[in-house]
């Protein structure tokens, strides 16, 4: 049975357990009108596969406000997989990141 693992800013630097077939959702605060957006900089392709990316505005707000970026990853293999994200403008390099986020998924072999 697939589990959904929800992570946020409070989980930065930590390690979470998972199994192949699980879905990892990372939710981070973002204000798109500022030009800054969460970007995937690194992930372990043997353990994780990108499964989507969307902006979630607060209820009742359509444009221009602060909301959350949801980045999804499917767990595709056993092992220890790191995800590294940066909050930056797409046209600027990683060194110009306003914030950074990193977490590790420890995926046990499936049953």
Alpha-carbon gap, residue 63 to 51, rounded angstroms:
24
The answer to whether 68 and 30 have CB atoms below 8 angstroms apart is yes
The pLDDT value recorded for residue 108 is: 93
The pLDDT value recorded for residue 111 is: 54
Alpha-carbon gap, residue 42 to 40, rounded angstroms:
6
pLDDT truncated to tens, each residue of the chain (111 aa)? 689 999 999 999 999 999 999 999 999 999 888 889 999 999 999 999 999 999 988 887 666 678 999 999 999 999 999 999 999 998 888 888 999 999 999 999 865
User: Distance from CA of residue 69 to its chain's centroid?
Assistant: 8
Question: pTM of the entire structure?
Answer: 0.90
């Amino acid at each position: 049975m697939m589990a959904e693992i929800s992570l946020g800013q409070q989980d930065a630097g930590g390690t979470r357990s998972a199994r192949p077939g699980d879905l990892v959702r990372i939710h981070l605060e973002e204000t798109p009108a500022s030009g800054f957006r969460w970007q995937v900089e690194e992930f372990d392709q043997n353990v994780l596969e990108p499964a989507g990316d969307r902006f979630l505005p607060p209820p009742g707000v359509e444009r221009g406000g602060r909301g959350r970026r949801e980045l999804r990853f499917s767990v595709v293999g056993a092992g220890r997989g790191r995800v590294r994200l940066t909050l930056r403008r797409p046209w600027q390099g990683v060194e110009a990141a306003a914030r950074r986020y990193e977490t590790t998924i420890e995926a046990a072999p499936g049953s």
